[in-house]
Structure 1
Amino acid sequence: MTGQPYTLYGLKLSYFTGKLEAYLRAKGIAFKFVEMNLADFQRCARETGVAQMPQLLTPQGAWLTDTTAIIAHFEDQAVEPRFRPSTASGAFLSRLLEDAFDEWLWRPALYYRWAFREDAQLMGRQIARTLLRDLPAPLWLRSFWITKRQQVEYLRGDGVTQENSPAIERHYLTVLDLLEPIFAARPYLFGDRPCEADFGLFGPMFRHFSHDPTPAAILRERAPHVLRWTANLWATTPDNLASATPVANAPADLDPLLRCIGADYLPYLKANLEAVANQAPRVRFESFGGQFEIPTSPYRAACWLDLRRQFAALSKEEQSAISARLGFEIKLDGKALDPTLLALTIRRRVSNRHWQ
């Protein structure tokens, strides 16, 4: 793990780049960071067929994409320090939480970055100065263009309206309130060392909620222990974890968070899978009292199928206990293996619009 370095291509303000950086640091995997410009972004897309960030080049010249898949790749090797819980039910809940933090928190993270003038101007200029630095145009023009592009893509394109924006803010505040007592009680979500779920949560918390002016001010005042967890995870190394007890099960005080995900995020995943299966272009759903309509996501459908297949591998007792904790019944019907549906989702990484 500490031999020839990997090369990590990304941006220092990127949601998923920060997630992968923290994981590689905590795992003790040597890497060198390349801050992408447009030429790098296009080169990586040619190499992998995926226009997204981050992308990881191995010392052997192979490419790895999609942070969830990259983390799973390393955790499958069972090299210490291990971040996958040792029990089957704990591993499933860690993976479920990792997915939820990646995708469920995506909308509030992007909303706070691009819906507020101070945040949008600051981050638009940062992207113009970094990713667009090789574009032959003045900085002000690059900043203006990328800010407008992001607002169209991640606000209007993600179903954000004046009517449902209060629901997005309730989403963020609710999650902070659910997390604060957890991190007041222990250093990481499951115990004395991080699990995959911690790195999923780190993506939105580090590069968005703790850095962008508007959500960062809320975080400092409302959830100081969450802020402390964010800094601690960024500082985590294998040496910090040498005496930490490996994680096994999801503690009982995670249940309010699990029930919230079961009530809000999992019904959306179910609706999105149905829409993808029916080849519908858009999906409608309710979240935190707001009404949303967004494009269907083959990527999220594939992730939900993966989670259902992992759930199917659990014992009946484990399935029943997890469903009770979520307050949501994960139904295992034939769609999990339907070849037509699998064909629609097989290109999930190509369909992933999360180029951040």
Structure 2
Amino acid sequence: MYTLHGALASPYSMKMRAILRYRRIPHVWSQGASARSAAAQVKAPVIPVLEYPDGHFAYDSTPLIHDLETRHAERSIVPDNPVHAFVAHLIEDFADEWLTKAMFGYRWLEAIDQEQMGVWLAFDMLQGGSLAQIEGTARPFRERQVGRMALVGCTRDNFPLIEASTRHVLAALEAHVTDRHWLFGTRPSLAEFAIFGQISQLGVDPTPQAMLRAKFPFTYRWLAHVDDASGVEGGWDERLSPVVEALLAEAGRIYAPFLLANAAAIAEGQDSFRIEVDGMPYTQGSFGYQVKCLNALRRRHEALPDSVRGEVDALLAKHNLMVLFA
């Protein structure tokens, strides 16, 4: 039996819980003090942490996904078509590393979100202990998170670009989910779960929840379907759907220049970088982890069979993503 140590307010925890549910992998969901203890068992003290049946612990949702794929063959979340598999991995990375900025920004920019989510997150962590203790724990936690805004690029100056990109993604999903529920067929892929993880938090926090209900109501409802898709049976389509093309286009518009600018800053020893898209600026401190993500995408691209590389490259070029692999 696996144990997933996580939190309701963690997009990557929700992503992994939904994957375990869909794949019908027996597991226990654990949060609060046990999650904090589990985080101390891994190199970087972050959640979620997956505790394996043999007692060892591992973290980082993307490696966990691939390890579970090697251990459990049934109900895979990687499309059979190698072109679609590559695209799904790219969209997963885009969601994990770019859409997460919407989650963080919406949560900590405005006072109404700071205050509610600060006490709710403390409530989740403590699971009791008195209102005074919850409020006392929430205050320094909220201040710490707000203080990290500039570090992760979620400033007021940057947020117009983050929000515009998020709305493009939501609009593409809204047009799709009323027609065809999943991205690559009649079953979910790792791309849906990554998108779900981030948007699941927008569906809870006051400001973005109001936006979802007003502008993207079916996407908001879709979140509940992804959260537990254990009853879904289906297969993979042979052709890419328009929503996948729309997501690739947004990744090419925003994520490709973001990754390249960050990698250049790291290579040149700079502690920050700046991009501008559609007249909207974005500035952030440079992060080594995003270079790791870029290199992982490049290794995956290099490993493509010759028989599909041309098709993948044509798709990447169409959406301004080939620059990542040149």
Same fold flag (TM > 0.5): yes
- Is 2:12–2:61's contact at 8 Å kept on the other side of the alignment? yes
State the match for 2:254 in structure 1.
Answer: 264
- Tell me the secondary structure at the aligned position of residue 270 of structure 2: coil
Flag structure 1 segments of 5+ consecutive residues without an equivalent.
334-356
- Output aligned runs, 1:183-262, within 5 Å: 183-206=177-200, 208-237=201-230, 239-241=231-233, 244-247=234-237, 249-262=239-252
State the match for 1:73 in structure 2.
Answer: 67
- Is 1:86–1:248's contact at 8 Å kept on the other side of the alignment? no
Q: Which of 10, 14, 39 matches 1:14? A: 10
| Number of positions where the alignment pairs a residue of Structure 1 with one of Structure 2 | 322
Task: Please report how far the alpha carbon of residue 318 of structure 1 lies from its aligned counterpart in structure 2 after TM superposition.
Answer: 2.3
- Tell me the secondary structure at the aligned position of residue 144 of structure 2: helix
- Output aligned runs, 1:1-356, within 5 Å: 5-37=1-33, 40-41=35-36, 43-77=37-71, 79-131=73-125, 138-153=133-148, 155-206=149-200, 208-237=201-230, 239-241=231-233, 244-247=234-237, 249-287=239-277, 289-314=279-304, 315=306, 316-330=309-323, 332=325
- Post-superposition Cα deviations, 1:325-355, rounded to whole Å, max 9, x if no partner, equal 322324546xxxxxxxxxxxxxxxxxxxxxx
Which amino acid in structure 1 is aligned with residue 229 of structure 2?
T
CA distance in 2, matches of 1:134, 1:301: 40
Task: Please report how far the alpha carbon of residue 249 of structure 1 lies from its aligned counterpart in structure 2 after TM superposition.
Answer: 4.9
Percent identity among equivalent residues? 30
Which amino acid in structure 2 is aligned with residue 321 of structure 1?
A
- Is 2:172–2:243's contact at 8 Å kept on the other side of the alignment? no
- Is 1:84–1:195's contact at 8 Å kept on the other side of the alignment? yes
Compared CA separation, residues 61 and 190, structure 1 to 2 (3 A): same
- Is 1:9–1:34's contact at 8 Å kept on the other side of the alignment? yes
CA distance in 2, matches of 1:99, 1:311: 13
- Is 1:22–1:199's contact at 8 Å kept on the other side of the alignment? yes
CA distance in 2, matches of 1:175, 1:292: 18
- Is 2:184–2:236's contact at 8 Å kept on the other side of the alignment? no
CA distance in 2, matches of 1:248, 1:198: 18
Compared CA separation, residues 64 and 232, structure 1 to 2 (3 A): same
Compared CA separation, residues 60 and 287, structure 1 to 2 (3 A): farther
Compared CA separation, residues 169 and 59, structure 1 to 2 (3 A): same
CA distance in 2, matches of 1:292, 1:135: 41
- Tell me the secondary structure at the aligned position of residue 155 of structure 2: coil
- Is 1:193–1:247's contact at 8 Å kept on the other side of the alignment? no
Which amino acid in structure 1 is aligned with residue 144 of structure 2?
R
Compared CA separation, residues 248 and 36, structure 1 to 2 (3 A): farther
Which amino acid in structure 1 is aligned with residue 44 of structure 2?
V
CA distance in 2, matches of 1:92, 1:209: 27
- Post-superposition Cα deviations, 1:168-218, rounded to whole Å, max 9, x if no partner, equal 322222221122112122011112000010111011111x11111111111
TM-score scaled by length of structure 1: 0.84
When structure 1 is superposed on structure 2, of 77-86 and 54-63 the one drifting more is 77-86
- Tell me the secondary structure at the aligned position of residue 273 of structure 2: strand
- Tell me the secondary structure at the aligned position of residue 74 of structure 2: coil
Flag structure 2 segments of 5+ consecutive residues without an equivalent.
none
- Tell me the secondary structure at the aligned position of residue 281 of structure 2: strand
CA distance in 2, matches of 1:290, 1:125: 33
Task: Please report how far the alpha carbon of residue 292 of structure 1 lies from its aligned counterpart in structure 2 after TM superposition.
Answer: 2.3
CA distance in 2, matches of 1:83, 1:236: 12
Which amino acid in structure 2 is aligned with residue 7 of structure 1?
T
